[in-house]
């Protein structure tokens, strides 16, 4: 990315070079995986090899994986599949879950960004029927990690189903579908070094869903449309790399913690959201009181540093983060927070550049320094 300091990995991670190589090879090969001739069989092998690689990363069985066009389709597939059930979602979900869920009941978050388990219990008990619950594994804005296994046990005790959006978690922390106890799980390749436009819904063995897209019999009749073989192969390669580098990703916590300490030293009145909870090693949501997030993002961009104001899927919308508001932040505080997310290519010198640029802006624009 030339001289740009890219610190927006939660929006999309740069595609790994090894992934590009695999995808180019598949594009040269061609072939429709539904065809029975040699080219078709070769394409089918590519799809199934990738499915196996992804299953190894996710701790699930290969047939439980349904390839989709990305995380948004996977979330819609899961949440629109049980319209007959009461639907409960956490207050910090991604926009694709919020939109797919419609008027679903929100489960409140505590100030640390964790689901209020007592409130969830009360909702399940009063539902009158087994519910479908959706709680993301790791938040895209704060990095806060939810206790999904505990949530799944509570949901199942009341006869319900649990979907978890694990899109930000996969490739950053160990994810074991079986151990989590979820019934459905969404993932997306471009968050862990794969290409954009490819994802998957993991569907617990024995749980049937009506297809969201109808047509041919692809994906065992669960998702119609010719598979995007090159993207699927790229996702499989990215999964292999991510599994091998989980420890390396965890080590980013050192850079993240140093960054937060330096920002708070410059601006003691700033707030790090979710800091007291378990978080992804790469994610910081930090406020600069009195300075709008959009101004911060633009100022840093002019200095060649890429960060974001909340979810990338909400870019261009000048409104406070619903995630931070669900954690109890005021509109003003939520509107002054930016997200900084590190990744496989992040270096200490890049953190230095960010701190210097952020500090200069703080001294120019913070009400604290106004005469």
Q: Return the active site residues.
A: 313
Distance CA 248, CA 171 (A): 11
Strand partners, 88: 105, 133
Upper half-sphere CA count for residue 22 (Cβ side, 13 Å): 26
Strand partners, 148: none
DSSP type of residue 8: B
- CA distance to 5, 143, 251, 296, 301, per residue, from 306 (Å): 6, 18, 21, 10, 6
List of residues 6+ apart from 361 with CB closer than 8 A: 288, 291, 295, 296, 299, 300
Assess contact for 189 and 238: CB atoms under 8 A.
Answer: yes
What tokens appear for 229 in the block? Answer: 């073989």
């Amino acid at each position: 990315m030339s001289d740009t300091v890219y610190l927006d990995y939660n929006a999309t991670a740069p595609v790994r070079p090894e992934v590009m190589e695999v995808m180019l090879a598949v594009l040269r090969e061609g072939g429709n995986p539904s065809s029975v001739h040699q080219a078709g069989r070769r394409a089918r092998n590519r799809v199934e090899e990738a499915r196996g690689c992804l299953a190894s990363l996710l701790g699930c069985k290969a047939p439980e994986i349904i390839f989709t066009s990305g995380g948004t389709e996977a979330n819609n597939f899961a949440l629109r599949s049980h319209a007959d059930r009461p639907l409960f979602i956490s207050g910090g979900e991604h926009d694709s879950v919020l939109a797919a869920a419609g008027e679903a009941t929100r489960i409140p978050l505590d100030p640390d960004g964790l689901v209020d388990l007592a409130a969830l219990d009360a909702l399940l008990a009063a539902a009158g029927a087994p519910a479908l619950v959706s709680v993301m594994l790791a938040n895209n804005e704060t990095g806060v990690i939810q206790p999904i296994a505990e949530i799944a046990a509570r949901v199942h005790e009341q006869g319900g189903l649990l979907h978890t959006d694990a899109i930000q978690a996969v490739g950053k922390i160990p994810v074991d579908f079986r151990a989590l106890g979820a019934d459905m799980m969404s993932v997306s390749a471009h968050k862990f070094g794969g290409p954009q436009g490819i994802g998957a819904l993991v569907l617990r063995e024995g749980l049937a869903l009506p297809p969201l897209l109808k047509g041919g019999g692809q994906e065992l009749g669960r998702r119609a449309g010719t598979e995007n073989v090159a993207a699927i192969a790229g996702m499989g390669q990215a999964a292999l790399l991510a599994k091998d580098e989980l420890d390396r990703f965890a080590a980013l916590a050192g850079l993240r913690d140093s960054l937060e300490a330096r920002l708070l030293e410059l601006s003691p009145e700033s707030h790090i959201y979710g800091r007291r909870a378990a978080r992804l090693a790469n994610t910081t949501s930090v406020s600069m009181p009195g300075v709008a997030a959009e101004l911060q993002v633009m100022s840093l961009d002019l200095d060649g540093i890429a960060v974001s104001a909340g979810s990338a899927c909400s870019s261009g919308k000048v409104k406070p983060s619903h995630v931070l508001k669900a954690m109890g932040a005021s509109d003003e505080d939520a509107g002054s927070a930016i997200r900084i997310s590190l990744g496989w290519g992040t270096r200490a010198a890049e953190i230095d550049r960010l701190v210097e640029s952020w500090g200069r802006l703080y001294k120019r624009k913070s009400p604290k320094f106004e005469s």
